[in-house]
């Protein structure tokens, strides 16, 4: 196409924790969903990784904002600044004098209300998107995993992101049964913070709790490969003296137990409502886990034992939604589930 440089296509997985942008089947951006704003002039001074380094370390003149909470836009202005900044970053790698016509597919939680959907669409349009399509995250996740979403067969996906856990049964290009609960990565992080305060009298920030989750995060005590214990340092809540504690995966499994039980109940609830023919397909194929939460050690085993259906962790679960969004972008006319 002679004017192909005037058209640009981006697939955006706008996550509560991370934003991933695909272009031409490649990840061109993978950054934390966070913005740093100068309060005095209300101007964005950093986004993504640079802003994350400032999180919980700012002075009164600067604030860091995570524009998405529970999978939806909580701060419209900050979200727009962030999307605009990310698109600009992707474009800085292109050497073009013209602003390209931007065609975008964005993933949204399946439980989004009309208002929340509009907020995502408006933010993307204000940030330069001319042609904006939306796709529900569990559908994008199923596409990214490689499930036959258009076939008359039942597929089930559990996508545990930063803000929401999306559970859906998919057949013939539609979500047959879906549930979206706000128990996900952010809740696990705050569970860890609460546990350390209660059990070890140590106060830790979100960033340290996140590191603990990655280093020793588990949901069952009996693992095939046990991670090395994590040494955490922080102020004692009573004396403010520095103390350190050694955290094992057993403790994290114990402290995440209630949150994981909520996800189990939601999965069972969706299965109860699933039509019998689709249910038998799911028993044959198993249930697929994606999203950052799928990386918690022992999660597939714990869920398989609870539900009596095999669970499979997707390949590269963190980018499953982004991959699916990218596949949808290539065929915007062929997929009936894309929303304009």
Summarize pLDDT for 268-315 with one digit per residue, the tens. 999 999 999 999 999 999 999 999 999 999 999 999 999 999 999 998
pLDDT band at 3 (very low <50, low <70, confident <90, very high): very low
211 and 75 in a common domain: no
Provide the Cα torsion 145, 149, 153, 158; round to 10°.
Answer: 50
Burial (Cβ within 10 Å: 0-12, 13-18, ≥19) of residue 244: exposed
Pick the closest to residue 227 from 200, 202, 250, 254 (CA basis): 250
pLDDT band at 2 (very low <50, low <70, confident <90, very high): very low
- What letter would DSSP give residue 152? S
Average pLDDT over residues 213-223: 91
- Does residue 77 register a pLDDT over 50? yes
pLDDT band at 240 (very low <50, low <70, confident <90, very high): confident
- Does residue 75 register a pLDDT over 90? no
- Does residue 237 register a pLDDT over 80? yes
pLDDT, position 94: 64
Last residue of a domain, one of 231, 255, 279: 255
192 and 175 in a common domain: no
285 and 175 in a common domain: yes
How far apart are the C-alpha atoms of 252 and 22, rounded to whole Å?
A: 34
Write the Ramachandran bin of 281: left for phi over 0, alpha for psi from -120 to 50, otherwise beta.
alpha
Would 278 be classed as within a structural domain? yes
- Tell me the CB-side half-sphere exposure of residue 35, using CA atoms within 13 A: 24
Would 279 be classed as within a structural domain? yes
133 and 22 in a common domain: yes
99 and 214 in a common domain: no
Interacting residues of 270 by C-beta distance below 8 A, sequence separation 6+:
156, 167, 168, 169, 177, 178, 179
Where are the alpha helices (H) located in 146-205, listed in sequence order? 185-200
267 and 165 in a common domain: yes
Place of tokens 């597929």: 155
pLDDT, position 289: 94
263 and 159 in a common domain: yes
For residue 56 the two structure tokens come to 């919980």
Would 69 be classed as within a structural domain? yes
- Is the Cα dihedral 181, 185, 188, 189 positive or negative? negative
269 and 170 in a common domain: yes
163 and 59 in a common domain: no
Provide the Cα torsion 99, 10, 112, 47; round to 10°.
Answer: -70
**CATH number, residue 28:** 3.30.420.40
Would 335 be classed as within a structural domain? no
Would 21 be classed as within a structural domain? yes
* Residue 254 Cα distances to 145, 221, 222, 258, 261, angstroms: 30, 8, 12, 8, 11
User: How many domains in the chain?
Assistant: 3
Pick the closest to residue 168 from 340, 339, 160 (CA basis): 160
Last residue of a domain, one of 240, 255, 270: 255
| Three-class secondary structure of residue 233 per DSSP | strand
How far apart are the C-alpha atoms of 51 and 46, rounded to whole Å?
A: 5
Question: What's the whole-number average pLDDT of the chain?
Answer: 89
237 and 131 in a common domain: no
Would 337 be classed as within a structural domain? no
Would 32 be classed as within a structural domain? yes
Are residues 297 and 303 in contact, defined by beta-carbon separation less than 8 angstroms?
A: no
Summarize pLDDT for 83-133 with one digit per residue, the tens. 889 888 888 766 555 566 788 899 888 878 888 888 888 888 888 888 899
228 and 285 in a common domain: no
**CATH number, residue 246:** 3.90.640.10
Would 160 be classed as within a structural domain? yes
263 and 156 in a common domain: yes
Containing structural domain, residue 31: 4-140+321-330
Are residues 71 and 16 in contact, defined by beta-carbon separation less than 8 angstroms?
A: yes
Are residues 213 and 17 in contact, defined by beta-carbon separation less than 8 angstroms?
A: no
Write the Ramachandran bin of 35: left for phi over 0, alpha for psi from -120 to 50, otherwise beta.
beta
Beta bridge partners of 106: 12, 134
| Three-class secondary structure of residue 109 per DSSP | coil
pLDDT, position 99: 62
Last residue of a domain, one of 255, 287, 303: 255
- What letter would DSSP give residue 202? B
Summarize pLDDT for 4-44 with one digit per residue, the tens. 556 788 899 988 889 999 988 888 999 999 999 998 888 88
């Amino acid at each position: 196409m002679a004017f192909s440089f005037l058209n640009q296509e981006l697939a955006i997985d706008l996550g509560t924790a991370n934003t991933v942008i695909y272009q031409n089947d490649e990840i061109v951006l993978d950054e934390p969903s966070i913005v740093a704003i100068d309060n005095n002039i209300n101007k964005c001074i950093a986004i993504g990784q640079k802003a994350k380094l400032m999180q919980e370390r700012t002075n009164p003149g600067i604030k860091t904002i995570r524009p998405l909470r529970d999978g939806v836009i909580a701060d419209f202005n900050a979200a727009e600044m962030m999307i605009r900044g990310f698109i600009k970053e992707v474009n800085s790698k292109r050497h073009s004098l013209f602003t390209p016509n931007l065609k975008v597919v964005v993933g949204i939680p399946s439980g989004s209300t009309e208002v929340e959907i509009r907020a995502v669409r408006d933010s993307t349009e204000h940030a330069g998107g001319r042609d904006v399509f939306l796709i529900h995250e569990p559908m994008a996740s199923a596409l990214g995993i490689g499930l036959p979403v258009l076939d008359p067969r039942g597929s089930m996906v559990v996508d545990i992101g930063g803000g929401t856990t999306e559970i859906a049964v998919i057949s013939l290009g539609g979500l047959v049964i879906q549930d979206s609960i706000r128990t996900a990565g952010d809740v696990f992080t705050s569970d860890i913070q609460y546990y350390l305060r209660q059990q070890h009298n140590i106060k830790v920030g979100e960033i340290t709790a996140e590191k603990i989750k990655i280093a020793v995060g588990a949901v069952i005590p009996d693992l095939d490969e046990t991670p090395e214990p994590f040494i955490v340092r922080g102020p004692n809540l009573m004396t403010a003296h520095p103390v350190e504690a050694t955290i094992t995966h057993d403790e994290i499994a114990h402290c995440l137990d209630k949150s994981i039980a909520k996800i189990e109940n939601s999965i069972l609830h969706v299965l109860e409502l699933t039509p019998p023919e689709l249910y038998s397909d799911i028993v044959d194929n198993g249930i697929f886990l994606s999203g950052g939460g799928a990386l918690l050690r022992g999660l597939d085993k714990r869920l398989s034992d609870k539900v009596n259906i095999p669970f499979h962790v997707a390949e590269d679960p963190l980018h499953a939604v982004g991959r699916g969004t990218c596949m949808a972008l290539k065929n915007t006319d062929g997929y009936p589930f894309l929303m304009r």
